[in-house]
Amino acid sequence: MSSLPNITNASKGRFTKVFHFDNKHKIEQRARDELLAVTALHPGLFYTNMQWSQYCQRQDDGTVRFCAPIDGNKLADWVDPSYDIGVYAAEIFSLGPEKTAAKTYPVVGPKLSFADFARVFREITSQEATFDPITLDQWGATVAATVGKGYEEDIKQMMEWIAVAPDDKICYGTRDQTEDTSYEDLGVKASTLADWMRRTAWQGPQTGPNGGRWFGLSLPDRKSTKEKGVAKPDPTRIYLMGDPCTSPSIRSSPNGFVRTR
């Protein structure tokens, strides 16, 4: 089963409202009490969170801004949820409960700092990227606007815990690294950020901070422009998917993208 650590316990009562962690942990404990064989997977933070504007934004000049509200040097565990969890689960089912029952496997890639996202992104995509954190209040408000006010304090306390969690431990600072026997038992390792980016061909967020959507810039060939009555590409106009765009809501950016509202 997929689960998470108990943050109330890990923080010694300091952060008691990270309900989406603590409640999953309670379900895991209930399952272990009621069922004969339970194997739990504890995934790290999701690389796919980069689709949300509280983690990552494309600025008006085309720069990608990684912006979680935390010190850029802070290390954390990350995972590709749509790939890694399935890989781990498949091996667990293959081995059977006689070998994996009662075990907990952290599904975490190598620790990565929040600022490292910008570095790795630049290396793979050749796009400009920075790490520039938003405030914790902005973080909470952005999440609440998407999923509801009741989640605001929960997600803020999650990030507050991550900011102070021990760097020498894994699984949100709750387990010693020696406790992770997933490679020895299952023969698997979770993805790196570079693995995830190459697997998904992720090129950064396609939506700007103000709701604008970004598309790749494409110049038309001579045939398509001639058919449309344009003798040749006009350098003063922007072409999107071969069509000249004259709307004032679309403009070029320095890295070869255009934005629409």
Tokens for 168? Answer: 């020498």
pLDDT at 206: 82
Tell me the H-state helices in 71-221.
84-95, 97-100, 116-125, 136-147, 152-164, 182-186, 193-200
Distance (Å) of CA 116 to CA 31, 41, 66:
37, 25, 10
Provide the 3-class DSSP secondary structure of residue 135: coil
Please answer whether residues 39 and 105 qualify as being in contact, where contact means their C-beta atoms are separated by less than 8 angstroms: yes
Closest listed residue to residue 214, CA positions, set 254, 175, 261:
261
Kindly list the structural domains of the chain, giving each domain's residue range(s) and its CATH number in brackets, ordered by start.
Answer: 7-200 (3.40.50.720)
Give, for all 261 residues of the chain, the pLDDT tens digit.
Answer: 999 999 999 999 999 999 999 999 999 999 999 999 999 999 999 999 999 999 999 999 999 999 999 999 999 999 999 999 999 999 999 999 999 999 999 999 999 999 999 999 999 999 999 999 999 999 999 999 999 999 999 999 999 999 999 999 999 999 999 999 999 999 999 999 999 999 999 999 986 555 444 433 333 333 333 333 333 333 433 333 333 333 333 333 333 333 333
pLDDT at 250: 32
Provide the 3-class DSSP secondary structure of residue 24: helix
